[in-house]
A and B are shown apart, each in its own frame.
Chain A
Amino acid sequence: MNHDIEAYLDGALAPDALAAFEAELARNPALREAVAAARRVRDDLDWLSVERGVEAGEQAFWDRQSARHNRMRVLAFGLVLILLAGLVWLRQKPAPALPPNRQLHPGQPHTPDSLATPPPPNTSSPLPALKQARDNSRGNRLFATYFKPYKDATLEPSLRGGAAASPEEKFQQHYWDNQYSDALAQFDMLPAMAQTNDNLLFIKAECLLAVGKADEAAPILELILKNDRTRYMDAAAWHLALARLKLGDTAQARLQFQQIRQSAASPWQTDAATILKRIE
């Protein structure tokens, strides 16, 4: 009969055996109870079967989750490394140098001293890149506040009546009329000799500053100051200091402003003192 219970629950009994078993089941309460108990155990075994059956899939899922988290951790670690490397690189990177414009005066000898790369910014700060960005932003603001293209009576063009204007006069006229891009285009058409004239170079530098090209203007102004052959020395010094400020070269700009502050002849003595207070 034991064998019959299993076969009965499996549905494996032959018709005549099934009929006999069911007849016995109807008569025998103990058999009914035994069948009920067998059903319960089989159902519990079925639950166990499912629990065991899904184990492999579950394990695969959790392994995958774990691998994914590990990948995320590696990725995060990599990002942190890249960030640190970036910070180290920024810390070691020198301040933007004034680009040497050695093609300006083909006839003139190189002047490496005047075009020397300025020293790197103060690297004692823990975040030099941030400091540099802050300096640039402040420099731009101060430049915008204080820069004004220099104009005085000596720069006013005096066109001769009836005669065609010379290239130099056209250049000056554009400058005087605030047409700085035209003035720069005109400068390139000047004779080579005129292009080495410090007065005209000063005007060119002013045009460059007016159109936002401080990086090109600064070497020209340095050259003019070194040559010391123009009547616009004070203005050149003032605007070179402003150009350096705009370029983020605060250390060099500070030195220049200090000189201007000490120069009783400079019309920008007070302005230089004010700017020094703000940048210090």
Chain B
Amino acid sequence: MRQKLNNLYRSLLARPDSGRYEHVGELVAGLLKMETTAVEYVMEKAWPSVRFLVRQAQLPENRARDMLHDALVILVKKIRDNVYNPDESAPATYLIAIARNLIANQLRHKRNTPTIALDDIPDISDDHTQAFLEGRERRELLESLLRKLGEPCARLIRLKYIDGYRDEEIIAQNMTHYNTSMALRTKRSKCFQKLIELATATKPADNTINTNAGHPQDQINEMP
């Protein structure tokens, strides 16, 4: 009954331009490119079920939003890493399955764990979910290290690795003051190495640089 009402709700209030994403291939391609409309579409589809699962799990209502965000990030990463198979389940269904795994993970530490279940939601591999959860602190650290890295290094790394620009685009659009790809790559390579040294020398838990480690380059070289 609840599902029927949700379907009715969605059919009455769905985005008028969402038709193209009814084709799974289009939706997956849109998610791969992280198109706003594709993200919006898949969230629209999954949100009622994710909220329902969070309620079923007796978690605070505001956690539903975080769960949807985390599940969405994992789904897109799986698409990027080419481990998501759209033939097995549609992106929205898969997204709900990821959210269920995340909720189950949250409940692992609770006593009297409530049962969370939803019809037609498949069991999925947990690798990316675990990687996402385990890497959370590391990513927070990485962001703070990028800030510590300063300009222009942080910008060079962001442009390539976070914003996804190709070197040719960076040069053509004058995003930095480097005029050639070679100069750009050489500088970024040094910056990247510096970032790795900082990351290696810093513990994720306390987010401080290990000052006893000597020069970061030395530390890397000393590793077995």
Contact = CB atoms under 8 A, between A and B. Distances in A.
Interface string B15-38: 100000000000000000011111
B224 A29 contact: yes
Given A47-B73, A60-B36, A38 B192 contact: yes
Of residues B15, B40, B139, which shows the largest number of chain A Cβ atoms within 10 Å of its Cβ?
B40
B76 A53 contact: yes
A37 interface: yes
B224 A37 contact: no
Given A45-B162, A48-B143, A57 B40 contact: yes
A65 B220 CA distance: 49
Interface string B54-65: 000000000001
Interface in B160-180: 161-164
B223 interface: yes
B162 A44 contact: no
- Name A's interface SS: helix
Interface stretch (A2-10, A113-121, A266-274): A2-10
A52 B39 contact: no
Interface residues of A, number: 35
Contacts of B135: 43-44, 47
A117 to B, nearest CB: 47
A37 B196 contact: yes
A50 interface: yes
The 5 A-B pairs with the shortest beta carbon distances in the complex, nearest first, are A57-B39, A53-B34, A45-B161, A3-B189, A57-B36
Interface of A: 2-3, 5-7, 29-30, 33-34, 37-38, 40-54, 56-58, 60-62, 64-65, 68
